[in-house]
Amino acid sequence: MRVLLLTVTAGHGHTQAANVVMDYLKRLNIECSVLDTLDYINPILGESVDKGYLYSTRYTPNVYGRLYDMVDNRDKTESRFSIPHIMYRVFSKKLVIALEQFKPDLVICTHNFAAAFISYLQENGVYNGISIGIVTDFTIHPFWEETDLDYYVTANELLNWQAVKKGIDVEKIWPIGIPIHTKFANKISPSKARQTLGVEDSPTVLVMSGSMGHGDIESAIEEMDSMDIDFQIISVCGSNKHLKKKIDKMVTKKRLYNFGFVDNIDVFMDAAHCIVTKPGGLTISESLAKGLPIVIIDPIPGQEERNAEFLLNNGLALMVSETFPIDEAMYLLMVNEDRVKTLGRMAEVFAKPNATVDLSHRIMELLG
């Protein structure tokens, strides 16, 4: 049995989800491989999409958001004649080589571009195996409408109606959660986690900027540092080395521990009283699995704003704004025990800590 996982490096989440699923499937003795789709088709194209995404979301997020809205509101009747659809037809032909070489029984797509390529190849009889798409947000990106796969993995069953509106048959939807590492299903005490990290055993706020280091983390830390309430701050800057250097130089009244990219974020979450973060799909899934109260900052216009809406509308998070700054959010969480308990209860309802295991078992059933 062979499974090919197709991803696209536009942000970290799509590749992270692919690798998590691959690692677990390998434990079940299934032969797997992850392929960066656009990089394989054309390295220049892959690099351009990755850098374009990073640049637009970091430096021109409002432009990115407007483009997202334009795609979401486009005339759906013309989609098959759109530039993206023509691109899918042209570039999908290169994937035939990879399919012929690996001969997968099942293909998993963690990005809508890869899913569109496989949909075209299935439609034309080039690929006859099973296809699964993994939607890595708490919304359905409009480009998923360009796909027609056998199954779709979504973050939650409450997205079913949105998926149906975008043309996805409800019978194809598996609302089992965004795949995350199985370690997020386990917990250790805050004291043990803090001891493991080598930090003081006291109330802790975890501040994350995401794998790409986006967000105005410095300002958030400065505002929290001005508060008289006693807590310490742990900052994780991801791959943004420039941000890490800037935070390292900050002089604060509170204890501030600053880290770059880490591979044990599960322990950091166990150590925390709450998390301050951008609403990326995987980070939110991991936080919910840990039962952490979530404070949303700086969502990227587009899918992250829609992720934030899902969380707020379902009682899963607070969100910072100009009229509700980070210090007020922290005050609420530090003094309102009932609100913290409510966020924790809702996290238990919506958490899907076993998504990767559930998906892998369904794949095993499909492959016989």
**DSSP assignment of 269-311:** HHH-SEEEE---HHHHHHHHHTT--EEE--PPTTHHHHHHHHH
pTM, two decimal places? 0.91
CATH topology of domain 2-180+353-367: Rossmann fold (3.40.50)
Which of 5, 367, 2, 1 is closest to 179 using CA atoms? Answer: 5
What confidence tier does 58 reach under pLDDT thresholds 50, 70, 90?
low
Any idea which of 55-59, 229-233, 344-348, 350-354 has the lowest mean pLDDT? 55-59
| CATH class for the region spanning 186-350 | alpha beta
pLDDT tens for each residue of 308-364: 999 999 999 999 999 999 999 999 999 999 999 999 999 999 999 999 999 999 999
The distance in angstroms from the start CA to the end CA of the chain is 9
Query: Domains of the chain: which residue ranges?
Result: 2-180+353-367, 186-350
For the stretch 153-158, contacts whose Cβ atoms lie closer than 8 Å and that sit 24 or more positions apart, written own/partner, are 153/177, 153/178, 153/179, 153/355, 153/359, 155/281, 155/285, 155/310, 155/352, 156/310, 156/350, 156/352, 158/310, 158/314
Stretch 135-155: mean pLDDT, rounded?
95
Whats the size of the chain, residue-wise?
Answer: 368
- Model pLDDT, residue 50: 57
pLDDT tens for each residue of 260-283: 989 999 999 999 999 999 999 999
What confidence tier does 114 reach under pLDDT thresholds 50, 70, 90?
very high
Q: How far apart are CA 148 and CA 127, in angstroms?
A: 13
* pLDDT surpasses 90 at 160: yes
Contact 109, 132 (CB under 8 A): yes
Whether 2-180+353-367 and 186-350 share one fold: the answer is yes
Distance of alpha carbon 186 from its chain centroid, rounded? 19
207 against 66, higher pLDDT: 207
242 against 307, higher pLDDT: 307
